[in-house]
Structure 1
């Protein structure tokens, strides 16, 4: 998955469940952290990681604290590294 395009991974996340979502979240987050990507692309990858994370929360069985922590940490990283964007709800 680390070599998939943004669109490929987004399509995968739509139908993924459980560990598949965690794998997709990590792959998207890794792309967001990649400094060789332009800033806007990194934001899009981060948004995709957050989407996978939200989908995990929908299906979390008692693991919602870990999912919430991942969400918080990625959001804080985006604000710190890429800057805040008051126009984006993510």
Structure 2
């Protein structure tokens, strides 16, 4: 799981650097992380219903501010967090 999270961070940062604001994965996250599995939802993270199952999004945005009331914990990749908050 740590290797997956680190690779996602590396890929998201590189794409954000190359494409800028067109690439939103860095700011919103893309994958839902379970205890020992990853889900790549086909729908929007907000509408998929998967956040209600307790899965968390890996978010590597260095400027992310998770509002009070949302879960936030350190991810295995340095500089990333796992959260149930999806920025707009």
TM range (shorter): 0.3 to 0.5
TM-score by length of 2: 0.32
More relative contact order, 1 or 2 (CA 8 Å, 6+ apart): 2
Higher share of residues assigned helix = 1
- TM-score (normalizing by structure 1): 0.32
Determine which structure has the larger strand proportion and give its number.
2
